Amino acid sequence: MTNLTLKQMRYFEALAEHRHFGNAAAVCAISQPALSVQIKEMERELGTSLFERSARQVRLTHFGEALAVRVRDILRSVDELGDFARTAQGKLVGRFRLGIIPTIAPYLLPQVLRNLSQSHPGLDIHVRETLTPRLVQELTQGKIDCALVALPVTAPGLAEMPLFDEDFLLVRPATEQKEPAPGPEDLRQMRLLLLEEGHCFREQALAFCNTGPKLPRDGLDGSSLATLVQMVGAGIGVTMIPSMAKAVETRSAAVDCTRFKGQQPSRTIGMVWRKTSPLERQLRDIAMVVKQAGTVHEKPVAQDAFFEEFGVEFSNFRRLPWQWYAVLIA
């Protein structure tokens, strides 16, 4: 019998994902030489090479590609064993890995965490903020427990639970405040600023205004709603933001926020998780807490004060969306 360990499989999974010994070692919190030793030990046990190594690149062999699929399934099953044991405790406690997209996180997350601190004491929340495709991938691989996204995601193996709907608002220069509210057809005559490719909010905005011939795209794309709103304040064009972002993003910009005339663009916010997760009942409880927070999202909490309460600087949270953040709720 091959004597592979779970630790070795986790190291292998990290290297298979990052294709770089240094980056994989950093993720695993071990030294690069230690990682190399464990990978070589795996190859010795299996009797074949798992990676093609060169000075600039690490690539999975054909066998390594096939093994990676099986290792991910094994590790996900092991993690779900732990989740299965946690279901016996009733209310969810301990580590909870929550994914969330950037157009929700800064506005809804403070209230969600505040509510969870009251409803689920003892929950150790790890927040992962990134784009929907990445969250779906990490959820499928068992790296997070659930994710807050704009529905639908239509990914096989994932359960979806709609929580609430919210409208989009038009952000225009403050000098246009007294002008009539525009409709979707009016956007064809405006310079519409959008989030860069990969953001689902970009596609939702385009779906609203592209009701006829393709909308001219001569504007600039931004990486965040904050950037887009500041560009509007500088007179570069107009943009759209979800209503939950209004209080945060428009407080320091010379802009006017207004609803559209007639049809209102909107999105559905929901929670997704693996259909195989043993924590489904507990996740539905968490979803109800999120839904409650969504009903008051137009009355945002004082975010800076909230994050300071848990030792997290909100400005850093906004600047580093690719990192993991842990908030201990006790």
Report which secondary-structure segment, H or E, holds 327. Answer: strand 324-328
pLDDT number for residue 310: 46
CA distance 195 to 227: 9
Tokens of 69: 């699929």
Residues 7-28 as b/e (b if ≥16 CB within 10 A, e otherwise) read ebbbbbbbbbbbebbeebbebb
Say whether pLDDT at 219 is over 80: no
Q: Kindly state the percentage of the chain with pLDDT values over 70.
A: 82
> Is a pLDDT exceeding 80 seen at residue 90?
no
pLDDT for the residue numbered 299: 46
Q: Is the pTM of this model over 0.95?
A: no
CA distances from 115 to 33, 109, 183, 221 (A): 44, 10, 37, 34
Task: Give dist(CA 156, CA 140) in Å, integer.
Answer: 9
Q: What is the pLDDT of residues 310-326, one digit of tens each?
A: 444 443 333 333 333 34
Residue 190: pLDDT over 90: no
pLDDT at 232 over 70: yes
Q: Give residue 232's identity as a one-letter amino acid code.
A: V
Neighbours of 53 (CB within 10 A): 11
pLDDT at 88: 60
Closest by Cα among 221, 209, 204 to 101: 204
Contacts of 291 (CB under 8 A, 6+ apart): 163, 164
Mean pLDDT of 81-91: 66
Q: How confident is the model at residue 75 (pLDDT cuts 50, 70, 90)?
A: confident
- Structural domains of the chain sorted by starting position, each given as residue range(s) with its CATH number in brackets: 6-83 (1.10.10.10), 92-164+268-328 (3.40.190.10), 166-266 (3.40.190.10)
